[in-house]
Structure 1
Amino acid sequence: DKNSDIRITGLRAARRYKQDVIPYVSQLVKDPSPQVRRECAIALHHNKSPEASALWVTLADQYDGKDRWYLEALGIGMDEQEQKFLTAWLKQAGDHWNTPVGRDLIWRSKIPLAVPYLVKIIEDPKTDLDTLPRYFRALDFIPGTEKNRAVAELALMKEPQNKKRETYIIAEAISRMPANTVMQDAKYKQALTQVIDSSRGTSEFIKLVQKFKASDYYPELVEIASRAGKSQTSVDAIRAALSLKQNTLIRKSLENKADTEKEQNQKLDLIWALGSAGHNSANGILLKLITDQDEPLVDRREAVRAIAKSRSGAHALLDLAEKKDFDPQLQQTVAAAMSSTIMKDVKERSARLYPAPPTKDNKPLPPINVLASIKGDKLDGRVMFNTKGTCAKCHVVNGMGKEVGPNLSEIGKKLSREALFESILFPSAGISHNFESYTVILASGNVVNGLLVNKTDDAITIRDAEAISRTFKMEDVDEIIQQKISLMPADLQKVLTQEELVNIVEYLTTLKQAEPIKKASR
């Protein structure tokens, strides 16, 4: 039939009614339609005919190296006959097997016969670094001693002209070897030390240090967790340190005083990684940090957010809240974290302690994760931002508004929808750096509240809620107190309906690029 769909249907019908499909496949094996040829490959599934392997080879020769469904059909066709079919193809290919098509067929076969070919592909300098994981994963599916010997061979590979490739290959190979084999053989032990030293700061480094319990490098795991930012690498590093029972090392790192903004951010990233690691032993470290009144408030707030990510951690946090053995300065942070949780049991328990804040119409708001899923009206949100929401009284957007709080001209690319709702509903849950509120008590008895603009040995400048900056001589100041709550009101939602609140956040998400400020013409 001229219609390829009819030809496919006919082939499927032959299989369905258990007819001998070989004559049909022989007739269609060079069909111009790749869809028909894919169906032919599938029709050879578990077919024991002597002609099956030759037909499969003919179909494989027409694979273009791009059609992943064609490759999958070839894989289905050779199931349980991989040795027979691949041997036939390799015999025909001869020395010309190492092509994109040949590599795909060998990768897909996952049999011991493929092992020496996979090794040659991995060792081939022309094999791109970013494709190597694919071939190592293929080795993982192949059982037997031949695979183990191949991995051991790769662990000693040398490629001086491309040290990055060499390091990756040795790391991947040696990580697949039994630890006792490596540690009892001088040449493998030397290769391990070499690759650990060469891969510092990478995922390979973390994997090797953890597997081989390379204790000399344990401090570097904690260092990576604090210096890799909020990333998969930092989470993997701290999870490895926790698995290796390096809690004391982690606590020591957290106890170090952060003297610079960079060090403070690294400390916060380490706390974040602890919460993201999904390791139960992180809870004890985080709880100690949360309950230690001598620790900086910013660290304790981050620890609250971190521990609330796990079910056991969230319940431990709620245990403290129920016992009222809790610093009031952390209440908003806990409430925000609980509002964002998706764990039903945690949500139900926290609702009794931290009921949702009411809106203008006195209706409780849904949890933050639910609010974040609601689509708003950005145009109405812009109006609300500048009117009922009173946001412009303290925030600048593209040159408009008062500069009391952070400039929001690019807030849409800095915070997620969830984080935007949290910042509005629980402003003291996480106060932005340089926007902490201060109280200045003057010798005259007057008290001034606001943001710290500047402080020297001679004077201090405070900007109040009206964006007015005032400077006082230090000789006129009795006391300076850093406040633990945000200058931003904690009940803004009371002047808005839920819809208006959602619209404001929708507007904020659009603020991704600051617009040039146009000077007024005279």
Structure 2
Amino acid sequence: MDLLQDPSTSEAERARYLRAFDFHDAPEKEIALKRLIASAANSDSASEGPSDELVVEAVLRLGDFDFDSSVSAKQSVLRYLHTYPGTDAYFDLLQRFQFAEMADDLFEFSLKHHDQTSGVRAAEILFLMDRQSLLLDAIQTDDLARRVAAVTLVGLAGRNKTVSLLLPVVTSDGLSSEVRVAAVEGISRRPNGRKRLLDLVISRKLPDDLKFAAANVLLSDEDEAVRIEAAKYLELPATADSQPLPPLRTLVKRRGDVAAGAKVFRKPGTCINCHKVNGEGKEVGPDLSEIGSKLSREAMYVSILDPSAAVSHNFETYSVLTEDGSAITGLLVSDTAESVTLRNAEGIDQTVNKDEMEIFQKQSKSLMPQDLQRLMTADQLVNLVEYTLTLTKK
């Protein structure tokens, strides 16, 4: 114990000592770990030495621990949680023990990181703790960024509660378009949500300012019946200015503005949301820092306009359908005996236990949007291609 609490002890030495407990028989291990927790939690150095970390390491090695029996141990763990938010141990502790006093911190963490895996995981724990009301209350605040973040998190973490929670947001007259569009996107993550969205379209109860968002979802649905029915009521422009896209043979003859194309890459083209260029952007699709050395001008257009024609190795899209109706689509990050982790188009990693999965299969379509030209004018598309062709090997 003195070795563990000595600040001069290296992390590697401390880790080796703690791993030794893993080789004890279960009853002996439990007794030894509880003694270690009691000693570390009650030590004089609990507020400034390695004792909090020791308590956490010991607790995580136990199958269960009664914090009501040790106020000092709970204080050690809470100090650790406040000190190291977002770590694996942080989430493991909160998921296992669901400390009620951490709900507000967890909520603020989720909003701050709503576009990251850690923020979604925090929101999932809020749902597990039945404290999703914190997210729902945030939707009604005056802060637009917090409202959109809260709606986004409900869409990503709400699972079978998503549709019932977000459908009223879609039809609300008192919420801004940005918030309701985020709700449409959240609902569309679930098959039953897309069907409810289609019902709103058919009954003409969907607000006009949401029709573009609904069309993006429903006209690209994997269910052909949904696409056919939605097409009776919705349509998307060929390009952002509603002009038809020129044929490929015409596009490849044109030359664009590199600087303007760089702006398209980062804004209307949304490429930066899924790809990295020289360290900037998100790591969802392939790194494009040298893409200009690999593709011809014509191939570059094809990769943008028909991304499923040639999906890069290790970037195939998979989908998971869970027993409770959750549908997750993304790149396969991890496939173990116990679980599967997919990374969606926003760069969020979501893990599903295999005993909860009904369907797990590779998709023929790329995770990259199939109709990116609708986000750009023809000139912007030409500029984008011109820019990507300059991304060559140094």
Shorter chain as denominator, the TM-score bin is: 0.5 to 0.7
Once the two structures are superposed, residues 61-94 of structure 1 have per-residue CA deviations (whole angstroms, 9 ceiling, x without a partner) of xxxxxxxxxxxxxxxxxxxxxxxxxxxxxxxxxx
Contact 1:159 1:166 in 2 (8 A): no
Which residue in 1 is equivalent to 2:116? 231
Note closer, same or farther for the CA distance 1:162–1:329 as it changes in structure 2 (3 Å cut): same
Matched, 1:213 2:85: no
Once the two structures are superposed, residues 291-349 of structure 1 have per-residue CA deviations (whole angstroms, 9 ceiling, x without a partner) of 112101111112222222233433332332233221111011122234566xx33x651
Equivalent in 402, 406, 409 of residue 262 of structure 2: 409
Q: How does 1:66-85 map to 2 (within 5 A)?
A: none
Higher Rg of the two aligned structures = 1
Which residue in 2 is equivalent to 1:322? 202
Instruction: Give the % identical residues.
Output: 19
Matched, 1:126 2:10: yes
Contact 2:266 2:272 in 1 (8 A): no
Once the two structures are superposed, residues 442-468 of structure 1 have per-residue CA deviations (whole angstroms, 9 ceiling, x without a partner) of xxxxxxxxxxxxxxxxxxxxxxxxxxx
Which residue in 2 is equivalent to 1:299? 179
Which residue in 2 is equivalent to 1:350? 227
Note closer, same or farther for the CA distance 1:165–1:320 as it changes in structure 2 (3 Å cut): farther
Note closer, same or farther for the CA distance 1:141–1:250 as it changes in structure 2 (3 Å cut): farther
Equivalent in 130, 134, 138 of residue 253 of structure 1: 138
Tell me, which stretches of 5 or more residues in structure 2 are unaligned? 275-300, 306-371
Matched, 1:148 2:30: yes
Contact 2:138 2:146 in 1 (8 A): no
Which residue in 2 is equivalent to 1:240? 125
Q: 2-side partners of 1:286 and 1:125: how far apart?
A: 51
Which residue in 1 is equivalent to 2:309? none
Note closer, same or farther for the CA distance 1:240–1:301 as it changes in structure 2 (3 Å cut): same
2:215 counterpart letter in structure 1 = A
Contact 1:206 1:221 in 2 (8 A): no
Note closer, same or farther for the CA distance 1:141–1:222 as it changes in structure 2 (3 Å cut): farther
Could you state the TM-score of these two structures normalised by the residue count of structure 2? 0.55
Could you state the TM-score of these two structures normalised by the residue count of structure 1? 0.43
Q: 1-side partners of 2:376 and 2:100: how far apart?
A: 55
Once the two structures are superposed, residues 105-162 of structure 1 have per-residue CA deviations (whole angstroms, 9 ceiling, x without a partner) of xxxxxxxxxxx9xx98xx9932359x96x99899779872234345435545479599
Q: 1-side partners of 2:209 and 2:252: how far apart?
A: 34
Which residue in 2 is equivalent to 1:46? none
Point out which structure has higher relative CO (alpha carbons under 8 A, 6+ apart): 2
TM-superposed CA distance for 1:278, in Å, is 5.6
Contact 1:338 1:350 in 2 (8 A): yes
1:353 counterpart letter in structure 2 = A
SS at match of 1:237: helix
Once the two structures are superposed, residues 415-457 of structure 1 have per-residue CA deviations (whole angstroms, 9 ceiling, x without a partner) of 6449799xx99xxxxxxxxxxxxxxxxxxxxxxxxxxxxxxxx
TM-superposed CA distance for 1:193, in Å, is 3.6
Contact 1:290 1:304 in 2 (8 A): yes
Q: How does 1:468-483 map to 2 (within 5 A)?
A: none
Note closer, same or farther for the CA distance 1:417–1:195 as it changes in structure 2 (3 Å cut): closer
Q: 2-side partners of 1:142 and 1:328: how far apart?
A: 65
Select between 231-240 and 152-161 the one with higher mean Cα deviation: 152-161
Note closer, same or farther for the CA distance 1:233–1:419 as it changes in structure 2 (3 Å cut): closer
SS at match of 1:281: helix
Note closer, same or farther for the CA distance 1:382–1:204 as it changes in structure 2 (3 Å cut): farther
2:190 counterpart letter in structure 1 = S
Q: How does 1:331-350 map to 2 (within 5 A)?
A: 331-338=211-218, 344-345=222-223, 348-350=225-227
TM-superposed CA distance for 1:172, in Å, is 4.1
Note closer, same or farther for the CA distance 1:381–1:189 as it changes in structure 2 (3 Å cut): farther
TM-superposed CA distance for 1:245, in Å, is 1.6
Note closer, same or farther for the CA distance 1:198–1:312 as it changes in structure 2 (3 Å cut): same
Q: 1-side partners of 2:215 and 2:19: how far apart?
A: 44
Q: 2-side partners of 1:301 and 1:202: how far apart?
A: 31
Which residue in 2 is equivalent to 1:268? 148
Contact 1:275 1:306 in 2 (8 A): yes
Matched, 1:222 2:107: yes
Contact 2:264 2:380 in 1 (8 A): no
Contact 1:139 1:147 in 2 (8 A): yes
Once the two structures are superposed, residues 399-420 of structure 1 have per-residue CA deviations (whole angstroms, 9 ceiling, x without a partner) of x7xxxxxxx5344356644979
Matched, 1:313 2:193: yes
Note closer, same or farther for the CA distance 1:135–1:356 as it changes in structure 2 (3 Å cut): farther
Note closer, same or farther for the CA distance 1:269–1:200 as it changes in structure 2 (3 Å cut): same
Which residue in 1 is equivalent to 2:365? none
Q: 1-side partners of 2:186 and 2:137: how far apart?
A: 18
Matched, 1:290 2:174: no
Q: 1-side partners of 2:192 and 2:23: how far apart?
A: 35
Q: 2-side partners of 1:153 and 1:292: how far apart?
A: 55
Equivalent in 240, 245, 252 of residue 380 of structure 1: 252
2:10 counterpart letter in structure 1 = K
TM-superposed CA distance for 1:287, in Å, is 1.8
Matched, 1:177 2:53: no
Q: 2-side partners of 1:154 and 1:351: how far apart?
A: 64
TM-superposed CA distance for 1:256, in Å, is 0.9
Note closer, same or farther for the CA distance 1:417–1:242 as it changes in structure 2 (3 Å cut): same
Contact 1:155 1:170 in 2 (8 A): yes
1:191 counterpart letter in structure 2 = S
Note closer, same or farther for the CA distance 1:290–1:136 as it changes in structure 2 (3 Å cut): farther
Contact 1:291 1:326 in 2 (8 A): yes
Note closer, same or farther for the CA distance 1:310–1:182 as it changes in structure 2 (3 Å cut): same
SS at match of 1:287: helix
Once the two structures are superposed, residues 201-249 of structure 1 have per-residue CA deviations (whole angstroms, 9 ceiling, x without a partner) of 6554444344323222222222111112411221011111111222322
